[in-house]
Amino acid sequence: MGKLIRPKNYQSLLDLKQTELGIKKIKDFFQMNLSSELRLRRVTAPLFVLQGTGINDDLSGVERSVKFPIKDMGDATAEVVHSLAKWKRLILAKYEIGEGFGIYTDMNAIRADEELDNLHSLYVDQWDWELTITAADRNIDFLKDIVRRIYAVILRTEYLVYEMYPQIKPILPTEIHFIHAEDLLQLYPTLSPKEREDKITEKYGAVFIMGIGAQLSNGEAHDLRAPDYDDWTTPSENGHKGLNGDILIWNSVLERSVELSSMGIRVDKEALLHQLALVGKEDRKKLYFHQCLLNDELPLSIGGGIGQSRICMSLLRKAHIGEIQASIWDPSMVAEAKKIGINLI
């Protein structure tokens, strides 16, 4: 059974019908504004890809994908996507998306290895986006600019919710705070990565933590990242490594930080080879995606995923992601949640 976080004296501010309307309004408004802000066109995304192509995102490298045989293709194995981090870059090339423009899509995934709680579900829904960039854009200032523009969309969406439901007052700060994972470690050296995230996000309200995946001075990474999409080893500001990061906001209902987006400047050839060597995955160089990148067939890009259910959950002041999406939960969690006012869909 997953772990249920029990907020104090929780009571939903919206009934079921209001919640469903709020979800629809948020999703429509957010994607329209994201598309306008970053100049992204919508594309259709796959639910599954062929195994062995290197296209599927393997997240931190340990999660199992959901697989099934394809009868009409000699039982070739398909696997449900974890995310579309690599697929999107192939689409930028296929659609010949020029510099300064990009794509976004609705990504749906099944992550069977998730530890289920208020923030984690078997079902994942994200806006996955990818933007073609130049070599000159591969720097920390460009990364921060994109983060600020995405955060501006979050703020506009929060105000939309307030206009619909005045009882849900805006609480996010006007600016997002930037900090590298190494500097965060130095601030709170005795805390775990999650505890450090909670401390810094409670202080500032909204934070972008950079350098996710890079080894820190304590010999550990703040969090794991696969070696073949985000660039987490190229030096950024102050000599720190990493051109990627996570957007976190403070959740006043759960009284902890919530990650809304993982994103970053993608690997170029040099960073790909370096990161594959670091984690002992050099055999991936022969896979289709990696060959395309190494043969200069893919554009430089920045991209990420933004959690749809987490955005809705946070802005509608819900205590559990299961109040936003239909998924599968342990019956004992469903019963326990209902006792404290959390009604899972």
Q: Catalytic amino acids?
A: 57, 111, 126, 246, 259, 262
Distances (CA, A) of 327 to 111, 123, 183: 12, 6, 37
Residues 264, 131: contact at Cβ < 8 Å? no
Q: How far is residue 309's CA from residue 276's CA, in Å, rounded to a whole number?
A: 32
Q: How far is residue 260's CA from residue 255's CA, in Å, rounded to a whole number?
A: 15
Residues 234, 241: contact at Cβ < 8 Å? yes
Residues 226, 262: contact at Cβ < 8 Å? no
CA dihedral 294, 272, 179, 246 (to 10 degrees): 80
What's the gap between Cα 130 and its chain centre?
A: 12
Token pair recorded at residue 167:
């009882």
Residues 122, 327: contact at Cβ < 8 Å? yes
Beta-strand relationship, 40-42 and 102-110: parallel
Close Cβ partners of 189 (under 8 Å, ≥ 6 residues apart): 218
> Rg of the Cα trace of the chain?
20
Q: How far is residue 50's CA from residue 46's CA, in Å, rounded to a whole number?
A: 11
Classify residue 233 by its DSSP letter.
S
Tell me the torsion sign for CA atoms 289, 294, 296, 300.
Answer: positive
Residues 168, 209: contact at Cβ < 8 Å? no
Residues 29, 160: contact at Cβ < 8 Å? yes
